[in-house]
Amino acid sequence: MTRILLVRGMLAGLVAGLFVFALARWIGEPQVERAIAFETVMDHARGEAPEAEVVSRKVQGTLGLLTATVLDGTAVGGIFALAFTFAMGRLPVQSPRNLAALLAALGFVAIAIVPALKYPANPPSVGNPDTIGIRTAAYFLLLAFSCALTALSVQVAMRFHRRLGAWNASLLSIGFFVVAATVTCHYFPDFDEVPAGFPVTLMWKFRVASLAMQALLWSVLGVVFGWFVEKVVARRSTHG
């Protein structure tokens, strides 16, 4: 069963990656082009030659982008399937589709929302190359904390489910997560490395586009995987 779900999860992730590629081409790439244009103007102003492109922008924005979104979606889909396999039978959710939707929502909050609130995505030319190591480490450490807090919040909801009821237990777990995530983010370092003159609207649009792509990835993954799993369960029930 685990192998079947893993394959279905990777396939659902691949489908989600294709959707993300289309959205990235529509709302993401124009912001990247504007950011690169700003960086080029700043290089000229400082008398510096632009860095030579190892891979052309045309390839980066088409085949490269497609490869990245599909591989990322497939990998996330595989991990999602393993999480679903672990949660199935342990969480009080009977419908495979509902469980997939719940896990997708939790994944979006833990992996996309919380890290983005502290360390939002930045377009090209934003960020100091000298701090890329510490910034990357801080981001992934916060991501690990966010996932751990999400799992702990689910445990809180399950622990108080019978005593307080589903609704109150859910509110308690959400409140616990919000407080714990807020305190955790507060103690992580801040990085203010936006170059002078960088368009604020460009940064805002880039970050919104990045978050929209994450929302699309998790939404499509939850819906498609839920549909796949429901078909698997129905087929096993018929033959069982």
- pLDDT, tens digit, 9 for 90 and up, residues 17-32: 999 999 999 998 888 8
29 and 94 belong to one structural domain: yes
106 and 209 belong to one structural domain: yes
- What confidence score (pLDDT) does residue 48 get? 63
What is the pTM for the complete model shown?
0.89
- What confidence score (pLDDT) does residue 216 get? 97
- What confidence score (pLDDT) does residue 91 get? 84
The C-alpha atoms of residue 184 and residue 108 are separated, in whole angstroms, by 18
95 and 158 belong to one structural domain: no
The C-alpha atoms of residue 69 and residue 213 are separated, in whole angstroms, by 10
100 and 65 belong to one structural domain: yes
- What confidence score (pLDDT) does residue 234 get? 66
The C-alpha atoms of residue 67 and residue 14 are separated, in whole angstroms, by 10
- Determine the residue type at 21: F
How many separate domains does the chain show?
2
223 and 111 belong to one structural domain: yes
Question: Domain residues for 188?
Answer: 127-193
49 and 114 belong to one structural domain: yes
91 and 177 belong to one structural domain: no
The C-alpha atoms of residue 31 and residue 146 are separated, in whole angstroms, by 28
Query: 153 near 176, Cβ under 8 Å?
Result: yes
- What confidence score (pLDDT) does residue 238 get? 59
Show the low-confidence residues of the chain (pLDDT under 70).
43-55, 234-240
DSSP string, 41-90: HHHHHTTPPPPPPSS-HHHIIIIIHHHHHHHHHHHHHHHHHHHHHHHTTT
- What confidence score (pLDDT) does residue 4 get? 87
97 and 158 belong to one structural domain: no
185 and 217 belong to one structural domain: no
- What confidence score (pLDDT) does residue 221 get? 96
